[in-house]
Structure 1
Amino acid sequence: MNRMLTLSAALLLAAQGAAADTLLKLDARAAVPAPTTGHIKMGTAVSPKGQTLAVNNQYLLRDGQPWLPVMGEYHYSRAPASQWDAQLRLMKAAGIDVVASYVMWNHHQERPGAFDWKGNRDLRRFVLAAKAAGLDMVVRVGPWVHAEVRYGGIPDWVVDAMPTRGNDAEYLGHVEKLYAEIGRQIKGLLFKDGGPIVGVQLENEYNIRGAGRGEAHISALKALALKAGMDVPLYTVTGWDGTVYPSGEVIPVFGGYPDEPWATSDKELPAKETHAFRFDTRVSGDLGAQTKSHGMGTAETDKDKVPFFGAEYGPGLPAMYRRRTLVSPDDIASMLPVQIGSGVNLLGYYMFHGGRNAVGIGGTGLEESSLSGGYNDTPRINYDFQAPLGPDGQQREVLTKLRPYHYFLREHGSKLATMTVRQPERSPAKPTDLQTPRWSVRSNGESGFLFFNNHVRQYAMPAQLGVRFEVQLPGGVVTLPAKPVDLPNGAYFVWPFNLDLDGVKLRYATAQPVTRLDAGAQGIVHVFATTAGVPAEFALPEGLKVLAADGQLARIGTHNGRAVSVLLLTPEQLAQLSVLDIAGQRRLVFSDQQAWTADGKLQLRGVGVQPLRAAVFPALPKPSGAGVQVRQDGLLQRLEVASTGDAPTLQIKATRPAGNAPRVLKGGLAGAAVQPIPEAFATAASWSLKLPAQASAKDEDVLLELDIVGDIGRVFSGTTMLDDWYYNGQRWQIGLKQFALKPGAELKLTVLPLRADAPIYIDAAHRPTFAQGHTQVAELRGARLLPVRRAAITP
């Protein structure tokens, strides 16, 4: 049943709360510049089946059609190989098109001699798993990768014996051997072979100038990559912090984070540029390069020659000892309208999947640390990064905010890629201007998308009252909405104008487009999501309609004899949405748990003892599986798999009180708080954590969840450290299956006290309050075991 409001009701709703009338104007009448080609020297870009991957100065083309993919970083050597298949499919289900991964040299050749490509270091197996999951891949070959790893990934024996990151003959000789090894690992898996590898990134954060460095070094690395057989459609370098590279030989990729864990301040930072639209430059502020720039980078002068690609837009942040920022899902998701609305034509994340550092020979830490000359101190093992998918595949809330944008790009990216960024009449002069409305338009003449953001991390934005947008196009003016609306602090969205919905011209909508379905007998369905506090207006050929998010299809027209409808989702429904191809058809799957496809089946996975539930549209033909219950509820087919029992019990016992922690010192390259020396951990409090005597065969994994307050937490099996954690207010979870612990095993948790006078930044909401007379804290507030359960449903 269709439920619509009348035009008069729509105008009444839109007018509510509008205390003023602010008309925000933008002129999009200028001609769209034609793309240029032939000046970027990439590799072979034709597959054995005749598929092509090309690039011009504006966007990618896949098989001749504009392509705007989403890329996510996942480090194979920081994750158990047994998890790769499922995790890569989870990334695909989340709307990721390309997986990127560093090859960390010291993970493969810690000592001179043979390389180690076995187990979690099996690059070839990882690439094959990416292909099986339907993902393309970019291999980031370094040799210096940063990645918060010791010496940026260059082995100690190289750093000790010769100059690095330049054209020193001895160094390049070893790099040549590294590249040859990588080339052998990925032989036959390149795009030109029908494989998934579409790109290679050379070096990282490279802004070093001088003889044998700068452009000459990147040219030398590219030549060595080609010699090793790495002939790919795309060669990239990172483009921030004054990068230098040979113009026309590589494409710069950019990034941005909503805070700077590498900063030295122990206070809140000014508003970041990642929440403000960019119209004149693609380069964000400080992204933590460990070398300093001494002039304008090539990326600035190359702006009109290469497309705007991203590789490191942070969907989370790393924990660094002196600065432990905990970002909110909205801090991250609000960056997306800004980056896309600033012209990004490849949305790349770092990290999309968390992990854990490899431990070196003899227990040597391979993490970045001030003790090994690094700029930052990072955990010995943990590399959680607050990523959308945690180190053990946990789904974080931020993922539910990002997925709709990925589905939007998958559906509308081919149009968006060709669209030019247009700047409003008024826009903030700098990121710290919190008063001027933040918005942009991308258009290709008559159609386009409007991007708006009123969220800035840690800063309240003024409500934009009585707002209407006016976009001047070659064929006339589009003004939306029908009546002024108030846009509150925290609002961010994408709205379309002059969008073709299968033959139905949508003049504009004050709702966000998500995806499109061919629902068979029910016709074509365009999925939109409401914008909080704004009536969902759809300006259609027959007039203005305000649609309700009532779980029904609202028919807006007919095309080639088939119904064309809109399905409008609430924010709550949008957070549950996955768009999956099941049984040869694109379907909507709504679940609070994880949903993806493997072996032709719908996979559901949840943490805890609650039943596994999902709702599907269009319905699966004949869903079946162990314990699956099926019922129809309006449009939705509801599936449920009953719980398999109670949560396992963890026995907790305090074993050692905390001593007096030593004062936190400042020093290192950053001149800021440095991680305590190993002897300091003698003052840590400790607890015994005893696992159940019997393990459930029905559990795919068991997460140990710890709620600690202190400085640094560590978990041991005997004297072997399994994981560590810098306290920042986030719950710490550890998947136990990877460690092959015996039933009834006893683990040890230690927590180093956090001193009240520690010059460490922790968000105000999570920084402990020290009672009078208490100068430190080391607490275990709670610990529990959470079973991870999975069900497969045959369609």
Structure 2
Amino acid sequence: MNAHELRVHQPEPPLRGHLPFGEPEGAPDRIEVTSRWFERGGRPWMPITGEIHYSRIPRERWSEVLGHARAGGLDSVATYVFWTVHEPEPGRFDWSGNRDLRAFIELAGAHGLDVIVRMGPWGHGEYRYGGFPDWLIERGDVRTRTNDPAYLDLVRPLYAQIIAQLEGLTHAEGGPIIGAQVDNELYDQPDHLAKLREIAEELGLRVPFWTATGWGGAQVPETLLPLYSAYSEGFWEDSTVEWPAFAPFHFRYSEVRDDLTVGADLREALDGISTDSTEPLKHDDRTPFATCELGGGMHVAYHRRPLVSPEDVANLALAKIGSGSAWQGYYMYAGGTQRTGPHGTEQESHATGYPNDVPALTYDFHAPIGEHGQIRPHHHYLRRQHLWLQADGRRIATMASIVGGGSDDPEELRWAVRSDGRSGYLFATTYQPPKRPVAAQPGVQFTVHFEDAEITVPTVPVNLPEGVSVAWPLRYALTDDLELRSATAQLLTRLDDLVVLAATEGVPVELVLGDGTIVDLPVPPGPDCFIDLHGVRLLILDDASANRLYKLPFAGRDRLVLADAPVYVENGDLVVHPETERTAIAMLPAPGPLEAEGAELEHTAGGDWSTWVLTTPSTGPVPVTVPDIGPATAPEPRLGGPMDRLSAPTDYSGAANVHIDIPDFGGPDRALLRIDWTGDTGRAHIGDAFVSDHFWHGRVWDIDLSAHREAVAEHGVRLELLPWRRATGVWVDPSVRDVPDGIEIRSATIVRVGKVRIKEDQ
């Protein structure tokens, strides 16, 4: 038997009033920072933040992206303010179009999202010169990212302009802005970081949180809250690295927050700071365990092209909750497109002194929400965690994490308990990316010794399959009088007297009440698996149904929604983005009569769930004919940048030119040309416009046709494709590595995405 025991105690009370953050007593909806957690309105609070860059997303798509973020369980978004976007010439500021920071923040607030403004002046974010304007770089007489008076004289008007955009929108003024970050990934200039906050406050900005990135052993002054990162891969590693040394650590449980390797290549190349150690560091426990860059996906560089999966993202995020995180922050949560300026596209590159060449246009990042609004599986996987944190985050935030076991030994069970001394959650994982899997765990059973009780879960040992992570409730209060002593299912959410849990595939569901009664499931887990108890009702969903579950405010109240397509709420309407002709939406409790704009709506009577079927003839896939690919020749490999890495090709004279005629795709809300291909790099043109690029890494290439309907009808799409040549030495994931040299287009499809508004029938 695989038995494990752990004793937990009530954590020590947190320190209070020792940090220069938060708001004064008596402030409305007061935000406070203790040494272990955050509080809001006098109650513990666990923020959930996703990075979304307003200046990389078309303004007309902002509301959709923010709506999906809110529906995904986020309560806040973070965004970079790239200096060069707003001051392309000295003294000339531009806040128009999708540069309109104020409008973006107001829209986020309308969606119920708070905002953290990452003010720079330097931001990185794979931007040209980290977001510094070219004119600043060209001056040569300014020591940037220091307290050089000449530099600060340039920063002050930038900050003044930013702060003017934020006027009236801070939390103290009843607005959504709760925090500001100064600079980014600055490791050895604590006095400068402190000075940036001073300047911003002198200019009138007052926010509860002042933050700085704390990873890499950064020297963060006491006036800034350090935030941390965790990635499962890194495009910034060398092409000779099979899997970054830092990555396995983030799939285990540990209270260690730091990671020396994120951005280490940039630190070495630009700042001359290097480290031989990749072991994370223990940081001061006077501040909460807070993150701002849990990898929501991963970008690609020419020399190294990671294939981070949705499962990687979700399991890493859950491991951080099990490790004691008090603030879940993702980078990126929504992808975007690199801007084009007077010098061309504005991505980081060897040409601007960076160690990596990244794509010229795409900044998709394989985020939960893609560059063109694609909703990825990890949007759903993470939403399950966020629903749980919304339901019980106030208790979880105060719980301390105690690691029960788990090292880098793939045979050893990794587990932890997060507890307040009387109740908690038991975490266990057998997940690590397939390139280095860990073993399944047969016959697992845990005994947790609380201060006043002993809980053994499950009562009969179970096998924990390979590739799963669980968080099982221990002594969870269903009502004031009824306790769920243990469960081998995960809490999802609560709605009135209904408690929703999710089964884990391959793990039998056992529910044990406080008196030891084992509750039998009337039917297998799924939308109809309801259990009526005294004063409460349980719903046990299967894994697939849990991925379809939302909790949304609609028709006057919160409702559970099971949706076959991505949904969110906008101006009181339920907005659906179907990709198939028929889409089912079920709700509980049922609203009154509904009507739909953009679809036929058919109501089907059901049991507990009320179901509607949407019919949208203009949605769904349309196959496209691809002509034969002619000969192509790859240019000779080049090395560049400060670390002599492979440079992205600029010579496309030997590329295969493939012309694709695009049939009339009707009137969907969005149309993507999806190319399933293998090769090295590709560029897409519509007429004379360069509209998309792709470094092949094993995933499809999506090209947004929506803004080019007339031009596409006239010109089609022209692809310039360079052939894969394994001998070049580009790193791709082992799962896709075994492809022949050359180019292959396996298929081309127009993905037609609809938009349907469901509202109460007036």
Which residue number in structure 1 is paired with residue 231 of structure 2? 257
Equivalent position SS for 2:288? coil
Unmatched segments (≥5 aa) in structure 1: 1-20, 209-213, 519-523, 771-775
How many angstroms does 1:452 deviate by?
1.2
CA–CA distance in 1 between the matches of 2:742 and 2:686? 24
Corresponding residue pairs, total? 742
Residue in structure 1 matching 2:431, options 423, 448, 455: 455
- Maintained 8 Å contact 1:256/1:274: no
Please list, as runs of the form range in 1=range in 2, the aligned pairs for 1:32-71 lying within 5 A after superposition.
32-42=11-21, 44=23, 50-71=28-49
Question: Which residue type is aligned with residue 568 of structure 2?
Answer: W
Aligned to 1:119: 97
Q: Is the CA contact 2:633–2:722 (under 8 Å) kept in the aligned structure 1?
A: no
Q: For residues 604-654 of structure 1, give each alpha carbon's deviation from its aligned partner in whole angstroms, at most 9, with x where no partner exists.
A: 1122x4213211111122222252101122221111121324768686565
Q: Does structure 1 residue 659 correspond to structure 2 residue 632?
A: yes
- Relative to structure 1, is the Cα distance of residues 574 and 719 closer, same or farther in structure 2, using a 3 angstrom cutoff? same
Decide which moves more: 118-127 or 36-45: 36-45
Match in the other structure for 2:561: 589
Which of 576, 582, 585 in structure 2 is aligned with 1:611?
A: 582
After superposition, give the CA deviation of every residue in 1:301-358 in whole Å (9 maximum; x if it has no partner). Answer: 7521101111100121101111111122211111122100111011000000010011
SS at match of 1:578: strand
Q: Which amino acid aligns with 1:411?
A: A
2:622, 2:751 within 8 Å by CA — same for their partners in 1? no
Counterpart of 2:217 (choices 218, 233, 242) is 242
Following superposition, the deviation at residue 165 of structure 1 comes to: 1.1
Q: Secondary structure at the match of 1:722?
A: strand
User: Secondary structure of the residue that 2:158 maps to in structure 1?
Assistant: helix
What is the letter of the counterpart of residue 493 of structure 1?
A: V
Shift of 1:663: 2.6
- Equivalent in 311, 323, 338 of residue 319 of structure 2: 338
Partner of 2:726: 756
Q: Which has the higher contact order (CA 8 A, sep 6+)?
A: 1
Name the counterpart of 1:782: 747
CA 1:666–1:644 in 2, change beyond 3 Å: closer, same or farther?
A: same
Residues 282, 308 of structure 1: 8 Å contact kept? yes
What displacement does 1:284 show?
2.8
Of 370, 384, 401, which aligns to 1:390? 370
Correspondence for 1:544 among 508, 518, 523: 518
Q: Secondary structure at the match of 1:603?
A: strand
The percentage of aligned residue pairs carrying the same residue is: 34
Residue by residue over 1:567-609, the C-alpha shift from the partner in whole angstroms, topping out at 9 and shown as x without a partner, is 00000101111111112322221122111111212111122x4
| Contact 1:337–1:452 (Cα < 8 Å) also in 2 | no
Contact 1:274 1:339 in 2 (8 A): no
Structure 2 CA distance for aligned equivalents of residues 695 and 535 of structure 1: 46
1:648-702 CA distance string (max 9 Å, x none) = 86865659734321232334223322212x2x2111111123334x5634x1121
Q: Where does residue 671 of structure 2 map in the other structure?
A: 702
Measured after TM superposition, the shift of residue 365 of structure 1 is 2.2
* Residue 108 of structure 2 is aligned to residue 135 of structure 1: no
Question: CA 1:446 to 1:622, structure 2 compared with 1: closer, same or farther past 3 Å?
Answer: same
Distance 2:555 2:627 in 1: 52
Correspondent of 2:63 among 81, 85, 98: 85
Distance 1:479 1:39, change over 3 A: same
Matched-pair contact (CA < 8 Å) for 2:624–2:750:
no
- Deviation string 1:466-485 (CA, Å, 9 cap, x unpaired) is 11011111112111101111
The question of whether the paired residues in 1 share the 8 Å contact of 2:355 and 2:645 is answered with no
Select the residue among 630, 641, 666 that pairs with 2:614.
641
CA deviation string 1:518-539 (max 9, x = no partner): 2xxxxx1100000222221111
Which amino acid in the other structure matches residue 588 of structure 2?
F
Residue 510 of structure 1 is matched in structure 2 by: 488
> SS in structure 1 opposite 2:340?
coil
SS at match of 1:681: coil
Would the aligned equivalents of 2:290 and 2:328 in 1 still touch at CA under 8 Å? yes
Q: Pick one of 541, 562, 565 that aligns with 2:537.
A: 565
Q: Which residue of 2 aligns with 1:269?
A: 243
In the alignment, the residues of structure 1 paired with residue 105 and residue 367 of structure 2 have an alpha-carbon distance, to the nearest angstrom, of 21
8 Å Cα contact 1:373-1:668 kept in structure 2: yes
Q: Which amino acid aligns with 1:488?
A: P
1:473 aligned residue (450, 468, 472): 450
In 1, are the aligned partners of 2:256 and 2:283 still within 8 Å (CA)?
no
Question: Corresponding residue for 1:355?
Answer: 336
Tell me if 1:72 matches 2:50.
yes
1:81: Cα distance to partner?
A: 0.3
- The 3 A distance-change label for structure 1 pair 46 and 737 is farther
Corresponding residue number in structure 1 for 2:506? 533
1:793 and 2:758 are equivalent in the alignment = yes
1:745, distance to aligned residue in structure 2 (A): 2.7
Confirm whether residue 311 of structure 1 aligns to residue 276 of structure 2.
no
User: Aligned pair 1:499/2:476, yes or no?
Assistant: yes
Cα deviation 1:386-429 (Å, max 9, x = unaligned): 011111111111222111001001111000000011121x431x
Q: Is the 8 A contact 2:257 2:283 kept in 1?
A: no
CA distance in 2, matches of 1:610, 1:553: 29
Whether the 8 Å CA contact 2:183–2:212 is kept in 1: the answer is yes
Paired residue type of 1:151: Y
Task: Evaluate the alpha carbon distance shift between residue 780 and residue 269 of structure 1 in structure 2; reply closer, same or farther with a 3 A threshold.
Answer: same
Q: Deviations over 1:10-68 (max 9, x none)?
A: xxxxxxxxxxx111111213x411111112112656898x2211111111111000001
Distance of 1:276 and 1:301 partners within structure 2: 17
Task: Give the Cα–Cα distance (whole angstroms) in 2 for the partners of residues 758 and 691 of structure 1.
Answer: 34
Contact 1:663 1:755 (8 Å CA) reproduced: no
Is 1:45–1:191's contact at 8 Å kept on the other side of the alignment? no
SS of the counterpart of 1:221? Answer: helix
Question: Which of the residues 609, 617, 621 maps onto 2:592?
Answer: 621
Q: Output one character per residue of 1:143-174: Cα deviation in whole Å (capped at 9) or x when no partner.
A: 11110111111111112212211111111111
Structure 1 residues 611, 783: CA separation in 2 closer, same or farther (over 3 Å shift)? Answer: same
* 1:589/1:617 contact within 8 Å kept: yes
Residue 488 (structure 1) aligned to one of 457, 460, 465: 465
Question: Is 1:281 aligned with 2:229?
Answer: no
Alignment partner of 1:765 is 2:735:
yes
For 2:7, give the aligned amino acid.
D
Matching residue within 417, 421, 434 for 2:410: 434
Of 382-391 and 636-645, deviating more is: 636-645
Matched with 1:203 is 183
Q: What amino acid sits opposite 2:499 in the alignment?
A: H
2:253 touches 2:416 (CA, 8 Å); kept in 1?
no
Match for 2:743: what amino acid?
A: A
Amino acid at match of 1:682: S
CA contact (8 A) 1:751 1:779 kept: no
- Residues 191-239 of structure 1: CA distance to partner in whole angstroms, max 9, x if unpaired? 111110000011111113xxxxx11101111111112322100001111
The residue number in structure 2 matching 1:156 is 134
Secondary structure, aligned partner of 1:291: helix
1: CA distance, partners of 2:619 / 2:327 = 44
User: Considering only aligned residues, what root-mean-square deviation do their CA atoms show, in Å?
Assistant: 2.2
Tell me whether 123-132 or 452-461 shows the greater mean CA deviation. 452-461
Change (3 A) 1:739 1:171: farther
- Closer, same or farther: CA 244–741 of 1 in aligned 2, 3 Å: farther
